[in-house]
């Protein structure tokens, strides 16, 4: 073994060790602490205390929390669907546009990333507020009724979620649509398929991996984006993320907060696993696994 | 040829202000195997895409079975295409790919199954119904694409450089199969290729395109033996070009090489100081420049010891290159006036092992009347 090769091995081992240490310190340990916390009892002085108990999980079965979970899934689902309905045509136009336009359209998606999403949530608030941009515009157009109460409604939360998360839908869709071979569409037309049939039989199946990826990238964060709901939804706990936050910071019930976040993490993990499984199947079907 | 299936009338097409098709007129007959041949950028693929409906012409009309389809989208035209890269649907099995067109046409389920099986039998792919395109070889994918188009029983089958992705041997085999398939089914084939050998081998008629215009249209033999222009002569096969000057017309009954002739008109052409008496369908004025085009296999090369017919006009030259090609010996000969010509000589029972060593002095001529006379084209 040459000296250079030995050095190389040393470097490799050192870097792997460093990365492993990092993961253990900042991912594995905190997660284990959350798991541990969720099985402890509540204590106002020291946050958590003995004895071990599964009381936190038992509380989760309370219909009140099932309601929060259900409502939160509903809001996230609506936001995901809206992102898909807006994002798919946008991604399609972007992927099919001539080069300079394509880059401009992509840039318009990416630029908001450079601004903190909390600040963007406040921007949505300015638009939707009772004396905000939307109502002002309506009055300028001749509307004379009561100003619309948009802020602090589920609608405002959905609008905020869509605005903040739309790029996560567009980018994976753009990636699959851009790869879609235009000749397949010509072949379908040549064989007698109408535009709708071409979309249904060829485009949709071939872009499905991007649709699923985009939906997960929107749906999963949407469940936890507590600050969007805080800024736009008012005081109610609309999202699971709000529930977790308020248990830790307001109710000071760390075991319950930990239990909620663990259940949420597990649910997300399950959905990711389902996606990975379906993506692998799709890849096998397409033969570029 | 009987009735006309596809008729292009005064078709013009531009991309980004650049004309790619100029005022094109073309009739394609029922049951014909027509090849659109030409160099890349000549517009042959555009013509195919116009017929398929993927492009629309800027001017002119396109008729299929006498009906103007210029405004019809591709899905409403009774033509099917075999794409260059096959464009098989990657998420569908072979059977689903082939069934696609029938499903779109709302053919009853039971019939679809039977017709798919029949189409796959036709292209010898029975047994591969459940495979996915990526599990097939290039040749098999080609056959699926063919079956997917043929199963719809189109009026015209369009093939866009469909064989160019296959290796040499498979291509030869597919050429034969396509041709016999076309004979058997009686469907009109319009085949696009840049491979002149392929075009000559397969077609009933070759339409040679150059820069968006038809350079020549005719049976393969006519294209090869009687090229209408220098472009055609050079594009289809190898061509030796002899530049000459007309000395005058000879009397109609004058014989070339002492042979009696059928009274054809002859022109006295002086090439590099040697006078030839060549058959000509038109009268040429003295002093007019003319080109004599001779195919390499029509050139005759005489080694120093060989005797050639008396009075045969010829050029002295020297072998500068020789290439053994198996069936032929190809020699590059530099004539004494500096012109380089290529001669292709067949090995036959009379001369099974002749050879021309490089540097050998030879005399070059050609079989009388096997040349083609062309006017000198003005430089573009």
Look at A206 and B87 and tell me if their CB atoms are within 8 Å: no
Show Cβ contacts of residue A25 under 8 Å, excluding neighbours closer than 6 positions.
none
- Please tell me which residue, A150 or B30, carries the higher pLDDT value: B30
pLDDT for residue A234: 78
Quick one: average pLDDT of A168-184? 94
Q: Which residues pair with A198 in a beta bridge?
A: none
Look at B75 and A186 and tell me if their CB atoms are within 8 Å: no
Domains and CATH numbers, chain B: 4-235 (3.40.50.300), 240-375 (2.40.50.140)
Quick one: average pLDDT of A236-256? 82
Look at B74 and A189 and tell me if their CB atoms are within 8 Å: yes
Structure confidence by residue, pLDDT tens digits, B221-239: 999 999 999 999 999 988 9
B172 touches chain A (CB under 8 A): no
Residue of B nearest to A196 (CA): B104
Q: Which residues of A104-116 are buried (b: 16+ CB within 10 A; e: fewer)?
A: ebbeebeeeeeee
Scan for tokens 């010996």, then name that residue.
B329
Structure confidence by residue, pLDDT tens digits, A248-265: 888 888 888 898 889 888
Given phi > 0 = left and psi -120 to 50 = alpha, else beta, which region is B241?
beta
Spell out which residues of chain A touch residue B76, defining contact as CB-CB under 8 Å. Answer: 192
B130 touches chain A (CB under 8 A): no
pLDDT score of A274 more than 90: no
As a whole-number percent, the residues of chain A with pLDDT over 70 amount to 94
pLDDT for residue B379: 59
Q: Is A22 exposed, middle or buried (0-12, 13-18, 19+ CB in 10 A)?
A: exposed
For the ranges A140-144, A180-184, B349-353, the lowest mean pLDDT is seen at: B349-353
Residue of B nearest to A283 (CA): B91
Domains and CATH numbers, chain A: 65-286 (1.10.3720.10)
Nearest to B143 by CA among B111, B205, B97, B209: B97
Residue of B nearest to A186 (CA): B54
Interface test with A, best of B100, B112, B130, B159 (most A CBs within 10 A): B100
Quick one: average pLDDT of B304-318? 87
The answer to whether the complex's ipTM is over 0.85 is no
A194 touches chain B (CB under 8 A): yes
Nearest to B304 by CA among B353, B345, B356, B347: B356
Nearest to A168 by CA among A220, A116, A124: A220
Show Cβ contacts of residue B37 under 8 Å, excluding neighbours closer than 6 positions.
B44, B193, B194, B196, B199, B206, B207, B208, B209, B235, B236
pLDDT score of B253 more than 70: no
Residue of B nearest to A197 (CA): B104
pLDDT for residue A289: 32
Helices (H), strands (E): how many in chain A? 14, 2
pLDDT score of B370 more than 60: yes
Quick one: average pLDDT of A237-255? 82
Look at A193 and B75 and tell me if their CB atoms are within 8 Å: yes
Q: Which B positions 60-99 lie with beta carbon below 8 A of chain A? A: 73-76, 79-81, 83, 85, 87-91
A201 touches chain B (CB under 8 A): yes
- Min Cα distance B151 → chain A (Å) is 10
- pTM, rounded to two decimals: 0.80
Spell out which residues of chain A touch residue B75, defining contact as CB-CB under 8 Å. Answer: 189-194
pLDDT score of A288 more than 60: no
For the ranges A200-204, B75-79, B274-278, the lowest mean pLDDT is seen at: B274-278
pLDDT for residue B73: 95
Look at A285 and B90 and tell me if their CB atoms are within 8 Å: yes
B244 touches chain A (CB under 8 A): no
Nearest to A197 by CA among B100, B13, B206: B100
Confidence band (pLDDT; 50, 70, 90) for B57? Answer: very high
pLDDT for residue A114: 83
Look at A193 and B52 and tell me if their CB atoms are within 8 Å: no
């Amino acid at each position: 073994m040459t000296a250079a090769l030995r050095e190389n091995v040393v470097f490799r081992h050192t870097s792997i060790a460093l990365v492993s240490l990092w993961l253990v310190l900042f991912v594995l340990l905190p997660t284990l602490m959350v798991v541990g916390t969720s099985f402890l009892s509540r204590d106002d002085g020291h946050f958590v205390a003995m004895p071990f108990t599964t009381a936190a999980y038992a509380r989760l079965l309370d219909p009140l929390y099932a309601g929060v979970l259900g409502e939160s899934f509903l809001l996230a689902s609506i936001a995901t669907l809206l992102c898909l309905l807006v994002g798919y045509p946008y991604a399609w136009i972007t992927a099919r546009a001539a080069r300079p336009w394509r880059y401009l359209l992509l840039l318009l998606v990416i630029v908001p990333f450079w601004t903190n999403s909390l600040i963007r949530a406040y921007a949505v608030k300015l638009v939707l507020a009772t004396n905000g941009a939307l109502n002002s515009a309506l009055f300028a157009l001749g509307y004379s009724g009561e100003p619309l109460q948009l802020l602090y409604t589920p609608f405002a939360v959905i609008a905020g979620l869509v605005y903040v998360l739309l790029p996560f839908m567009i980018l994976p869709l753009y990636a699959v649509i851009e790869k879609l071979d235009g000749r397949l569409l010509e072949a379908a037309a040549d064989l007698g398929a109408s535009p709708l049939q071409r979309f249904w039989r060829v485009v949709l199946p071939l872009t499905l991996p991007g649709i699923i990826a985009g939906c997960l990238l929107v749906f999963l964060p949407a469940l936890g984006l507590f600050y969007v709901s805080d800024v736009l939804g008012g005081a109610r706990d609309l999202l699971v993320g709000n529930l977790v936050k308020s248990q830790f910071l307001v109710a000071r019930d760390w075991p319950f907060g930990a239990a909620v976040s663990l259940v949420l993490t597990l649910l997300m993990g399950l959905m990711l696993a389902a996606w990975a499984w379906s993506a692998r199947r799709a890849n096998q079907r397409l033969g570029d696994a | 040829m009987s009735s006309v299936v596809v008729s292009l009338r005064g078709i013009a097409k531009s991309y980004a202000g650049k004309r790619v098709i100029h005022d094109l007129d073309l009739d394609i007959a029922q049951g014909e195997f027509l090849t659109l041949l030409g160099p890349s950028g000549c517009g042959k693929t555009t013509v195919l895409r116009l017929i398929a409906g993927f492009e629309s012409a800027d001017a002119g009309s396109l008729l299929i079975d006498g009906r103007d389809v210029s405004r019809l989208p591709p899905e409403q035209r009774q033509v099917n295409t075999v794409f260059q890269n096959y464009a098989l649907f990657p998420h569908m099995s072979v059977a689903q790919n082939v069934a696609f067109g029938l499903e779109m046409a709302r053919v009853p389920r039971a019939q679809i199954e039977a017709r798919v099986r029949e189409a796959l039998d036709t292209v010898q792919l029975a047994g591969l119904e459940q495979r996915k395109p990526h599990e097939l070889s290039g040749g098999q994918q080609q056959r699926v694409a063919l079956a997917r188009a043929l199963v719809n029983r189109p009026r015209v089958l369009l093939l866009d450089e469909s064989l160019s992705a296959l290796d040499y041997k498979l291509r030869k085999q597919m050429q034969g199969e396509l041709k016999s398939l076309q004979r058997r089914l009686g469907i009109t084939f319009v085949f696009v290729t840049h491979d002149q050998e392929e075009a000559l081998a397969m077609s009933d008629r070759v339409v040679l395109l150059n820069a968006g215009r038809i350079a020549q249209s005719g049976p393969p033999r006519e294209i090869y033996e009687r090229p209408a222009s220098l472009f055609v002569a050079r594009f289809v096969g190898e061509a030796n070009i002899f530049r000459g000057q007309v000395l005058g017309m000879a009397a109609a009954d004058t014989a070339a090489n002492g042979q009696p002739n059928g009274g054809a008109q002859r022109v006295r052409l002086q090439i590099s100081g040697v006078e030839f008496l060549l058959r000509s369908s038109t009268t040429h004025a003295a002093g007019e420049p003319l080109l004599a085009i001779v195919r390499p296999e029509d050139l005759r090369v005489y080694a120093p010891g060989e005797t050639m017919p008396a009075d045969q006009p010829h050029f002295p030259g020297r072998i500068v290159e020789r290439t053994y090609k198996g069936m032929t010996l190809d020699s590059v000969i530099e004539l004494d006036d500096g012109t380089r010509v290529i001669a292709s000589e067949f090995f036959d029972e009379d001369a099974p092992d002749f050879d021309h060593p490089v540097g050998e002095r030879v005399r070059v001529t050609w079989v009388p009347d096997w040349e083609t006379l062309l006017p000198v084209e003005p430089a573009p």
